[in-house]
């Protein structure tokens, strides 16, 4: 599953069994966190876990531009091999989530990643970013 | 009790109990919620196919990103400073944060 679409939580079908880094339970946690973040803020959150080409920041921003609505999207790009995390907020999204708060969320995420907990870090980061963004319009 | 009975009761039962508990613990750890047995640890290679979570099907321009022209402008890092002189940011630019562990 390279570019994956996670079914929205309204579907009753279980997520496909991935031979990937996340177990089903972890996928469900991430899915739920993303759904809550999207619904409470009105922004679109997406998470990329995989290798990023050098320079890492530009590759993350390039992927962010591939989204349907980059201005209102937040991309969290995680590269476990390079051990780098990039949070990219679109033009509209960055007014809701200032860079300072993105930095704080990144700090808590890497604290979890450093302990080897990918899912926990992702869920924590989504939760922090969504609560900083506040209610959407 | 005879010697054999004593040995069986006081040595055998604890040994069997220890083996059972160890077996259950091993089975639980290898098949637990640890990524299907391949839990990520910092420093270990991450060989999985890249995964991109999206909450709903999004229209992507080009999965390889080749839709951008060769002269594509490099956006500024945080919108407050230019990465290098001469590279322009697209209108608005993007924000966010970077970090590493």
Interface membership of A62 toward B (CB under 8 Å):
yes
- Sheet containing strand A84-89, edge to edge, reads B51-54, A44-49, A73-79, A84-89, B95-100
As given in the structure block, the two tokens for residue A7 are: 């079914």
pLDDT in tens, B40-94: 777 777 777 788 888 666 545 444 433 333 333 333 333 333 333 333 345 467 8
DSSP 3-state of B87: coil
Report in angstroms the alpha-carbon separations of A33 from A3, A94, A101, A122, B51.
19, 20, 18, 9, 16
Interface membership of A33 toward B (CB under 8 Å):
no
Model confidence band, residue B19 (pLDDT cutoffs 50, 70, 90):
very high
Q: Are A74 and A97 in contact (CB under 8 A)?
A: yes
- Rounded to two decimals, the ipTM of the complex is 0.70
Residue of chain B whose alpha carbon sits nearest to that of A90: B94
**Residue of A52, A55, A39 whose CA lies nearest to A78:** A52
pLDDT in tens, A109-121: 999 988 888 889 9
pTM: predicted TM-score of the whole model, two decimal places: 0.65
Nearest to B53 among A4, A23, A111 (CB): A4
Look at residue A5 and tell me whether its pLDDT is greater than 80: no
Strands B95-100 and A84-89: antiparallel
- What's residue A68's pLDDT? 82
User: Nearest C-alpha of chain B: how many angstroms from A22?
Assistant: 4
Instruction: List the domain boundaries for chain A.
Output: 24-132
Third-level CATH fold of A24-132? Diaminopimelate Epimerase; Chain A, domain 1 (3.10.310)
Measure the CA angle with vertex A125, ends A61 and B39; round to 5°. 95
């Amino acid at each position: 599953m390279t570019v994956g679409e996670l079914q929205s939580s309204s579907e009753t079908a279980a997520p496909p069994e991935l031979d990937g880094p996340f177990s089903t339970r972890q996928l469900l946690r991430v899915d739920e966190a993303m759904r809550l973040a999207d619904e409470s803020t009105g922004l679109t959150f997406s998470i990329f876990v995989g290798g990023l080409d050098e320079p890492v920041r530009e590759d993350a921003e390039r992927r962010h531009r591939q989204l349907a609505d980059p201005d209102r999207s937040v991309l969290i790009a995680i590269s476990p091999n390079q051990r780098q995390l990039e949070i990219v907020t679109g033009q509209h999204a960055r007014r809701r989530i200032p860079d300072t708060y993105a930095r704080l969320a990144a700090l808590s995420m890497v604290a979890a990643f450093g302990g080897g907990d990918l899912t926990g870090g992702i869920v924590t980061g989504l939760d922090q970013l969504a609560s900083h963004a506040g209610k959407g319009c | 009790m005879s010697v054999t009975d004593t040995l069986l009761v006081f040595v055998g039962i604890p040994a069997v109990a220890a083996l059972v508990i160890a077996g259950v613990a091993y089975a639980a750890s290898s098949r637990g919620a640890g990524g299907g047995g391949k839990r990520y640890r910092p420093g270990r290679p991450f060989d999985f196919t890249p995964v991109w979570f999206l909450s709903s099907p999004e229209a992507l321009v080009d999965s390889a990103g080749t839709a951008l022209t060769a002269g594509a402008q490099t956006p500024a890092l945080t919108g407050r400073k230019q990465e290098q002189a001469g590279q322009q940011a697209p209108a608005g630019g993007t924000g966010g944060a970077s970090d590493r562990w």
